[in-house]
Amino acid sequence: MNSDKTAATGLYVGLMSGTSLDGVDAVLADFGTSPYKLIASHYLPYPRELSNRLLALQKKGIDELHHAALVGNELTLLYHQAIKALLGKAGNAAESVRAVGCHGQTIRHNPHESYTLQLGNPAMLAELCGISVVADFRSRDIAAGGQGAPLVPAFHDAMFRTPDIHRIVVNIGGIANITDLKPGSETRGFDTGPGNMLLDAWMYRHNGVAYDESGNWASSGQINPQLLDTLLAHPYFGLLPPKSCGREQFNLDWVESNLAGGEPAANVQATLLALSSASIASAIERWCGIPEELAVCGGGAHNSTLLKHLSLLLPNTRIITSDALGIGADWVEAAAFAWLARQNLMGLPGNLPAVTGARGERILGAVYPR
């Protein structure tokens, strides 16, 4: 690897497909410049059939190992398609890129049982795109006693920390996670609970569309206080960090088990949005202290209703999106996995033990040479 012409390049591709199951985000980042430069980005949506099969794999099923392997290969073909489109936009050849950081698609995350599983075939991806691939970032942290998540706080620390502003970064993807960047203090972070995941699922079930644009449907409903209190009583919210979560804890079966029956669907959507905002704000107040600034990234950054709720719950905090800090809200996680690939190839740790609970810093990921 060190002998070829890619060894000196600072160009890395990052691929992220999260718990929203909506598609893959791809970025081409140059870490050879200071500050780092985002050269190009591309989003490739999943076909609905693929999203449904991924959702089905969240639960036990017949011959699920075979189905998981096939879906992993299908995902890899989409990852390759996203890389080709990305490099086409940038006008860069594959040979100019040192590595691809590929998160894969999480279908099981059980750190309490010492495993996490992300689908994808990194060997196939390296073969298809002719670029080295770094994948399986979470397993080493879990092997060291950590949660394996969230991993983006290390990147947030490298990119967004400032010596004179108490800033918290909140990534609102399917699951929401926060990174506490308090001056003079160790960086901390954890999953706060559901972000867009329940909102998207309820929206699709009742309206047949992938997401609630700007939270408009939620804003048309009325929050059900009793239901909100019941949902906020989930034991996850009371756990001390470090902690992480996923569909294992928060899913539509759980929501429906707490419905009395007959609730207007828009009211449930309004309550699910209140659940996301309240769990984020409560986690901040309880474990971080009120920050001067909250920088929002992920798909939730486009949900104006959700941002309004956060501003009401955190009235003394300035709320911005990560765009104001130089990285578009849609691309922070993909950029983080490009950075984690770089950390691996440079022999540098990618985790923060104070965030994940691991016994120490670890180099994350497995390398599949081109």
Query: Contact at 8 Å (CB) between 126 and 222?
Result: no
Same domain as 156, residue 141: no
Phi/psi class of residue 40: alpha, beta or left (left: φ > 0; alpha: ψ in -120 to 50)? Answer: beta
Same domain as 344, residue 246: no
Same domain as 309, residue 352: no
Same domain as 318, residue 174: yes
pLDDT > 70 in the chain, percent: 98
**What pLDDT is attached to residue 322?**
98
pLDDT, tens digit (0-9, with 9 covering 90-100), for 238-268: 999 999 999 999 999 999 999 999 999 999 9
Q: Which residues lie closer than 8 Å to 122 by C-beta, 6 or more apart? A: 76, 102, 104, 133, 134, 135, 136, 366, 368
Q: Which residues are bridge partners to 199 per DSSP?
A: none
Same domain as 301, residue 353: no
Q: Cα(315)–Cα(295) distance, rounded to whole angstroms?
A: 14
Q: Cα(218)–Cα(216) distance, rounded to whole angstroms?
A: 5
**What pLDDT is attached to residue 14?**
98
The count of structural domains within the chain is 2
Lowest-confidence pick of 52-61, 75-84, 183-192, 298-307: 52-61
Q: Cα(170)–Cα(284) distance, rounded to whole angstroms?
A: 10
Q: What radius of gyration do the chain's Cα atoms show?
A: 20
Give the mean model confidence (pLDDT) for residues 1-25.
Answer: 77
Same domain as 301, residue 268: yes
Angle of CA points 287, 291, 294, to nearest 5°? 105
Q: Cα(151)–Cα(248) distance, rounded to whole angstroms?
A: 19
Angle of CA points 353, 112, 196, to nearest 5°? 80
Same domain as 255, residue 351: no
* Domain boundary pick from 290, 308, 325: 325
Give the mean model confidence (pLDDT) for residues 95-116.
Answer: 95
Same domain as 31, residue 63: yes
Angle of CA points 111, 116, 119, to nearest 5°? 165
Q: Cα(176)–Cα(301) distance, rounded to whole angstroms?
A: 11
Q: Is the peptide bond before 264 cis (omega within 30 degrees of 0)?
A: no
Sign of CA dihedral 229, 230, 232, 238: positive
Q: Cα(199)–Cα(205) distance, rounded to whole angstroms?
A: 10
Same domain as 339, residue 314: no
Q: Cα(57)–Cα(245) distance, rounded to whole angstroms?
A: 17
**CA atoms lying within 13 Å on the CB side of residue 251:** 11
Q: Exposed/middle/buried for 342, CB within 10 Å: 0-12, 13-18, 19+? A: buried
3-state helix, strand, coil in the chain (%, to 5): 45, 20, 35
Angle of CA points 347, 348, 351, to nearest 5°? 135
Same domain as 209, residue 93: no
The CATH number for 345's domain is 3.30.420.40
pLDDT, tens digit (0-9, with 9 covering 90-100), for 138-152: 999 999 999 999 999
Give the mean model confidence (pLDDT) for residues 292-302.
Answer: 97
Lowest-confidence pick of 7-11, 86-90, 110-114, 129-133: 7-11
Query: Contact at 8 Å (CB) between 272 and 302?
Result: no
Nearest to 116 by CA among 369, 370, 365: 365
Q: Which residues lie closer than 8 Å to 317 by C-beta, 6 or more apart? A: 290, 291, 292, 293, 294, 311
Element (H, E) at 254: helix 252-257
Same domain as 317, residue 186: yes
The owner of tokens 């999943």 is 46
pTM: 0.94
Same domain as 316, residue 206: yes
Give the mean model confidence (pLDDT) for residues 151-155.
Answer: 97
**What pLDDT is attached to residue 4?**
45
Q: Exposed/middle/buried for 135, CB within 10 Å: 0-12, 13-18, 19+? A: buried
What string of DSSP letters covers 48-101? HHHHHHHHHTTS--TTHHHHHHHHHHHHHHHHHHHHHHHHHHHT--GGG--EEE
Q: Which residue segment(s) compose the domain that 129 sits in?
A: 5-148+332-368
**What pLDDT is attached to residue 8?**
55
Kindly indicate the confidence band of residue 1, based on its pLDDT and cuts at 50, 70 and 90: very low
